[in-house]
Chains A and B, each alone.
Chain A
Amino acid sequence: MDLEKLEAILASQSHEFDVVVRIAKEEDIAVARQMAKKLAQEMGFSLADTTKVATAVSELARNIYRYAQQGRIMLRKKEEGKSGPSMEIIAADQGPGIPDVELVLTKGYTTYERSLGIGLSGVKRLMDSFAIYSAPGRGTVVVAEKRRRRF
């Protein structure tokens, strides 16, 4: 089930999204962050939520760069669901995968020496919904969503 979802997202096409950023170099992290910020602003997110989205994308892009060397950040607007417009953020890579997903979501867990171990758990806290699909040797996909808060 998870594996099917993983493969489906890995095979998804660029044109299905509003923004696709390839992550292959360190500088791409900042590019992804900027693009996310721009899209959130366009969608009318509050300043705080725009910053939350940009920060989450920054974390996800860095994870791709660190652990899989390359992958994609894909963003899309989802209009007028039951709970109003939202932004979907997908981070997909065909890297080594995560053997224990629960473990990486524990605050403070890291395999990288220069890190607070807060990346993925932080993203989960910043977003309204969050899911990881991963299979060792196949890759990792994170699907997160942030709703536009209405006043």
Chain B
Amino acid sequence: MHAPQNLSALARKIGRTPAETQLWEEFLGKLFAAEGAQEEAALTSTLRSLAEELEEEPLAAKIAALAAELPEFPATRVFQLALKACGEKRREQEETLSHLRQMLAELATPIIRIWTDMLLVAMIGNIDSQRAQDIAERLLNRVSSTRAKVVIVDVTGVPMIDTVVGGFLIEMFNATRLLGAEVILTGIKPEVAHTLVKLGVDFQTVSIARDLEDALRRGIALTMEETRKRRELALSLAKSGVGENDERGAF
């Protein structure tokens, strides 16, 4: 058994910053204290902290240095634990990264519930196949979960719409309509309109609004119209007596 002050001295020799020194001291203390099953987890967690403090290579070099100083240092085991700790650290970093990527994708194309039964999709930046599919998938899930009646797509922030991007948009509009929602497109700039007509992309199947205000006005009219029709339907069904004496109320 080593005297604690020896280990402290060693930790001071190895560590470059106070935080690092403290971690080494903690690590050596745990390593040469009681042996036990739960000890491994404690060692790994300290190594994890060291891995955060240092890069992987310096960490390995310092473990090697310790092994040289202390004859009874269990180098193989410590390396194994260090490897495990570094692996954990990397996995966590990757998770954070993919989480951030997803957040970025969502921030880049916000889908906002702007009115009762109405969503607004503001498309910004260049659109490629991968992004187009991500946006379409997110939009359709939102339309389905919110039961939106109208989707306003604002393309003011899209610098260029060629046949490829036009094709993505048409696919997204058609998919939205298959859920029973209406699409209102707005924000086509003069130069984009010029290119679209030259390329033969005419967006014939969606209604087009002059600006966001116009789109909103139309959208509201559409949702109110449907609400009115639904009310009428309920009334006429009640009058004709459908739903009475009905054992299968599930409908």
Q: Per the CB under 8 Å rule, do A and B touch in the complex?
A: yes
Q: Is the interface of A mostly helix, strand, loop or mixed?
A: loop
In the complex, whether A48 has a CB less than 8 A from a CB of chain B is: yes
Q: Which residues of B contact A (CB under 8 A)?
A: 98, 101-102, 105, 130, 133-134, 136-137, 140
Smallest CB separation, B93 vs chain A (Å): 15
In the complex, whether A25 has a CB less than 8 A from a CB of chain B is: no
Query: Do residues A151 and B130 form an inter-chain contact, with CB atoms below 8 A?
Result: no
Query: Do residues A151 and B105 form an inter-chain contact, with CB atoms below 8 A?
Result: yes
Interface residues of A in 124-151 (CB under 8 A from B): 149-151
Query: Do residues A149 and B130 form an inter-chain contact, with CB atoms below 8 A?
Result: yes
In the complex, whether A14 has a CB less than 8 A from a CB of chain B is: no
Query: Do residues A48 and B137 form an inter-chain contact, with CB atoms below 8 A?
Result: yes
Instruction: Beyond A48-B133, A149-B133, A151-B134, list 10 extra A-B contacts (CB 8 Å).
Output: A46-B137, A48-B136, A149-B130, A149-B134, A150-B98, A150-B101, A151-B98, A151-B101, A151-B102, A151-B105
Q: Is the interface of B mostly helix, strand, loop or mixed?
A: helix
> Complex Cα distance A151/B96, Å?
11
**Residue ID in chain B nearest A83 by CB atoms:** B130
> Complex Cα distance A46/B140, Å?
13
- List residues of chain A with CB within 8 A of the CB of B137: 46, 48
Smallest CB separation, B54 vs chain A (Å): 28
- What 0/1 readout, one digit per residue, does chain A (46-60) give for beta carbons within 8 Å of chain B? 101000000000000
Smallest CB separation, A129 vs chain B (Å): 12
